[in-house]
Chain A
Amino acid sequence: AQKITQTQPGMFVQEKEAVTLDCTYDTSDPSYGLFWYKQPSSGEMIFLIYQGSYDQQNATEGRYSLNFQKARKSANLVISASQLGDSAMYFCAMREGGNNRLAFGKGNQVVVIP
């Protein structure tokens, strides 16, 4: 069964606007971590932000924030003030406390237009 779901089609975003990328997950483990990675066209995987299942507050890292809704099992990434360099594929991933393996969603493609 798929543990991480990212279903949005490719998105076009105007420069300087905010964009929200949806991610829902499925786990019965009370201890887990959620990660977002960025993959630009050059291909490398860049870590953006982390949210732990026991964290009380939503994670933020610069222009990235994570809208964590535990009861809904969603961990949406918000990118504020989009820049041209934000054009990339974005992956949501989860690590469950029981096994330490990272499971990825299929990704969201974002294109920022000037």
Chain B
Amino acid sequence: NAGVTQTPKFQVLKTGQSMTLQCAQDMNHEYMSWYRQDPGMGLRLIHYSVGAGITDQGEVPNGYNVSRSTTEDFPLRLLSAAPSQTSVYFCATHSFGVFFDEQYFGPGTRLTVT
């Protein structure tokens, strides 16, 4: 099992460009989420999904879109990249309703916007 995979690992964008960060999981988890990590800020929730076709906003959703058409995939879209979106992005999953289940993280995508 691959667990949670993220692509790409590194990306450099110019201001105004768009891109999609990919996240895939093979654990059949209902719950998937995207976080961003900035120095001194911990991890902040961007968007999350409790199942295919259901998404909702987290703490810092502005500038990002998500969709969930399958259980396995949860892409994060940056429509018009800004330097403030320079960050490390983590995708995470866990079983919905299993309260004690740990959240499984992907390896992260390091994004730089110039």
- List chain A positions with a Cβ less than 8 A from chain B: 4, 6, 31, 33, 35, 37, 43-45, 47, 50, 52, 91, 93, 95, 97, 100-107
Contact = CB atoms under 8 A, between A and B. Distances in A.
A31 B97 CA distance: 13
A31 to B, nearest CB: 7
B74 interface: no
B113 interface: no
Interface residues of B, number: 26
Nearest to A102: B103
A104 B99 contact: no
A50 B107 CA distance: 21
Contacts, number: 54
B78 interface: no
A17 B70 CA distance: 47
A106 B90 contact: no
A33 B100 contact: yes
A52 B100 contact: yes
Interface of A is mostly: strand
A95 B43 CA distance: 14
A74 to B, nearest CB: 17
B42 interface: yes
Contacts of B45: 101-103
**Ordered nearest first, which 10 A-B pairs have the shortest CB separation?**
A45-B105, A104-B42, A106-B42, A47-B102, A104-B43, A43-B108, A102-B103, A107-B42, A105-B42, A44-B107
Contacts of A93: 43, 103
A100 B31 contact: yes
A107 B42 CA distance: 6
A52 B103 contact: no
B89 to A, nearest CB: 11
Most buried by A among B33, B99, B105: B99
A50 B100 CA distance: 7
A43 B9 CA distance: 11
Contacts of A97: 99
